[in-house]
Amino acid sequence: MPKKIELPISESAIRELRIGDEVEISGPMVLGRDAAHKHLVKTHDEAFDRLARDRFLYHCGPVVRRDDAGEWRFVAAGPTTSIREEPYEAQVIERYGVRGIIGKGGMGARTLEAMRKHSCVYLHAIGGLAVVLADKVVKVHGAHMLDELGVPEAMWSIEVKDFPSVITMDSHGGSLHETMFAQSKDAARRLMEQGVRAPAGRKPA
C-alpha cells in the first residue's frame, strides 16, 4: 500500500521516507522547470517561497485549458526530466525550504547532498502519464510569472489529491538511480564483450 503524504510536510516526516517507498501525495504544491530554476537562483522570489516552503516542487510543463468560467484546468501534466535542473536544485532546496522534488529520471550528486543536508526527497513520477496525473490535480490556483515564462515554464500553484510517485532519492543519501546506473553499466560491459552473434537461422515470424 502506498504511504499517504499530506502537504505541507515536516522535516521529521521527510526523514522517515526511504528509497523504494511508494507514496500518494495530497495538498498544495508548485510547478517549476528550466526557466523557473534559472530565475529562482538569480533572485529570492518571495511569491515562490510562499508556494514552495515545506511543500513539493514539481518538474512539469503542463498542457492547460481555460474553461468558460475562466478557471484553469490541467489537461496533461506528467513530469519532465529533472537532471537539467541539477546545476540549480541544491540552491533552490536550501534557499526555499523545499521538502520534495517531483520529476523523472532522478538527479545528481549535488542535489542528493542538498537533500541529505536540508531534509528533502526526490519523488519519481511516471513520465508520459500525463492524463492520469492531470486528473490528480484537483485545483489550479494560478500561475506565477505566466506572462514572463509562458504556459509550460510558469510556476503553477496547484492542489493535488493522491498523486502517485516513488521515492528514488531520500534524505539519507540513498539513490535508486545510482544503484541502477552501476548495475546496468556492468551488464552493458558484459554484453559488449559477447560480440556480434553468428548469423544463425532467424526466428520464424
Partner 1 sequence: MASLRPHIVELIRHTSSGLPEDVLDALAGARDSEPEGSRAWSTFELMISNVEAARQASAPICQDTGTLIFYVDYGPDHTAHQLEKDIVAAVREATKRAYLRPNAVDSITGVNSGDNVGKGSPYIHFHARRERGVRVRLMMKGGGCENVGAQYSLPDESIGAGRDLDGIRRCIIDAVQKAQGYGCAPGTVGVGVGGDRVTSYIESKEQLFRPLRDVNPDPVLEDLEQELLGSLQGLNIGPMGFGGKTTVLGVKIGARHRVPASFFVSISYMCWAYRKGELSVKGAKAVLDGHPLAVPVPAAKKAAAKKAVAKKAVAKKAVAKKAVAKKAVAKKAVAKKPVAKKAVAKKPVAKKAVAKKPVAKKPVAKKPVAKKPVAKKPVAKKAVDKKTAGPAVQVASRRARRNKLNVL
Asked if the peptide bond before residue 8 counts as cis, ω within 30 degrees of 0, the response is: yes
**Residue 184 binding partner 1, by CB under 8 A:** yes
d(CA 142, CA 167): 27
Assess contact for 5 and 163: CB atoms under 8 A. Answer: no
**Residue 41 binding partner 1, by CB under 8 A:** no
Closest approach of partner 1 to the CB of residue 23, in Å: 13
Closest approach of partner 1 to the CB of residue 118, in Å: 25
| String marking each residue 118-157 x if it binds partner 1 according to CB under 8 A | ------x-xxxxxxx-xx--------------xxxx----
Taking CB under 8 A as the binding criterion, the range among 4-12, 50-58, 90-98, 180-188 that sits at the site for partner 1 is 180-188
d(CA 60, CA 67): 21
Q: Hey, which residues between 66 and 105 contact partner 1 (CB under 8 A)? A: 75-78, 80-81, 83, 104-105
Q: Which residues of 33-62 are buried (b: 16+ CB within 10 A; e: fewer)?
A: bbbbbebbeeeebeebeebbebbbbbbbbb
Q: Indicate the residue among 69 and 196 with the shorter CB distance to partner 1.
A: 196
Taking CB under 8 A as the binding criterion, the range among 3-11, 94-102, 108-116, 162-170 that sits at the site for partner 1 is 162-170
Closest approach of partner 1 to the CB of residue 36, in Å: 12
**Residue 18 binding partner 1, by CB under 8 A:** no
d(CA 181, CA 15): 24
Closest approach of partner 1 to the CB of residue 78, in Å: 5
Identify the burial level of 124 via C-beta atoms within 10 angstroms of its C-beta, where 0-12 means exposed, 13-18 middle and 19 or more buried. buried
**CA-based torsion, 50, 90, 62, 161: positive or negative:** negative
Assess contact for 174 and 111: CB atoms under 8 A. Answer: no
Angle at 113 (CA atoms; ends 110, 116), nearest 5 degrees: 155
Instruction: State the catalytic residues.
Output: 37
Q: Which residues form the interface with partner 1 (CB under 8 A)?
A: 22, 35, 60-65, 75-78, 80-81, 83, 104-106, 124, 126-132, 134-135, 150-153, 164, 166, 168, 176-177, 180-181, 183-185, 187-188, 191-192, 194-197, 199-200, 202-203, 205
